[in-house]
Amino acid sequence: MSVDKLVNKALKRIGNVHPVVRAGAEEVIRRAYKQGISVLFSDGYRSNAEQNKLYAQGRTASGKIVTNARGGQSYHNYGLAIDMFITNKAGTSAMWPYDKLKQVARIAKSIGFEWGGDWKTFKDNPHLQITGGLSIAQLQAGQKPNISLKKGGTSTVNPSKPQTKPTTSSSKGLGLVDYMKSKGMDSSYNNRSKLAKQHGIKNYKGTASQNTTLLQKLRGGVPTASRAKGNQNTSSVVDYLKSIKVDSSFSHRAKLARQRGIKNYKGTQAQNNQLLRMLRG
Ligand SMILES: [Zn+2]
């Protein structure tokens, strides 16, 4: 099956997902194909009714339990998640070999997806999502994700020009360019170079480490200074996160914990205390 046919087939199956997820799915298929892997997607957008039907499976209906999420509780319900499988050259079979899924996941992650196979507790190897950092609670409250694909892997940047590959060092997972865009700033190389000079970064060439430094400087304005304080009296990580206006949901705390090397985060008292200490620095 040609790569165009794979793309068509997959895009039909994932349905009404977010346009960025749709573009990401196509990119993943094309890049995987170049690596000799035919990947398709079985699931994408699911309505709440479809999710509830899936939730019933293995509970009030026959079959195996396949999800712990009811309608509205899955990123699929917001068009932000897709489930992959590996197919054969003819595109007629469905397989889930871990090594291949992992290889495809590596491609997907390079353009901004999170992979369910990286989760510590409920591993979901076929699952890819782009959440823009929003929790399910925030999505349920009607917030819309501000998401875009990263350039990732094969850069189309002219090699004689400085690299503009986004860095992923910030607390929100945004690179410098993404961060600037999110603030409505001019993210061109020229403007970054000018800002770098203003912030005392010498000889700016747009390297990853210079971009990281610049990002920290740009974030270090008034908002970050007041952020760094937060509630210093509380012993609750949730209250502390609320005081600095950061998502305090379990899934976001799990992400923050993972980023700080706290393994197998389950939200225990000891883990929360450790996370709180780290967040306060
Ligand atoms: Zn999924």
Are 42 and 94 within 8 A, CB to CB?
yes
pLDDT at position 147 over 80: yes
- Give the integer Cα–Cα distance in Å for 196 and 202: 7
pLDDT at position 165 over 50: no
What's the gap in Å between 60 CA and the centre of ligand 1? 21
> Distance of alpha carbon 231 from its chain centroid, rounded?
28
What's the gap in Å between 83 CA and the centre of ligand 1? 5
- Give the integer Cα–Cα distance in Å for 198 and 9: 50
What's the gap in Å between 85 CA and the centre of ligand 1? 11
> Which residues belong to CATH 3.30.1380.10 in the chain?
3-140
What's the gap in Å between 127 CA and the centre of ligand 1? 4
* CATH pick for 3-140 out of 1.10.287.1770, 3.40.50.300, 3.30.1380.10, 3.40.50.620: 3.30.1380.10
What's the gap in Å between 124 CA and the centre of ligand 1? 7
What's the gap in Å between 42 CA and the centre of ligand 1? 9
Are 206 and 192 within 8 A, CB to CB?
yes
Are 101 and 125 within 8 A, CB to CB?
yes
6: confidence class by pLDDT, cuts 50, 70, 90: very high
CA atoms within 13 A on the CB side of 150: 25
Residues paired with residue 128 on neighbouring β-strands, in sequence order? 82, 115
CB atoms within 10 A of CB 41: 24
Instruction: Calculate ∠ Cα 76-131-162, nearest 5°.
Output: 135
- Give the integer Cα–Cα distance in Å for 160 and 83: 38
Report pLDDT digits (tens) over 235-267: 888 888 888 878 888 888 888 888 888 888 888
Q: What percent of the chain has pLDDT over 90?
A: 50
pLDDT of 155: 39
Q: What is the 3-state secondary structure (H, E, C) of 40-59?
A: EEEECCCCHHHHHHHHHECC
pLDDT at position 69 over 70: yes
What's the gap in Å between 168 CA and the centre of ligand 1? 24
39: confidence class by pLDDT, cuts 50, 70, 90: very high
Report pLDDT digits (tens) over 116-144: 999 998 889 999 999 999 999 999 999 99
What's the gap in Å between 275 CA and the centre of ligand 1? 28
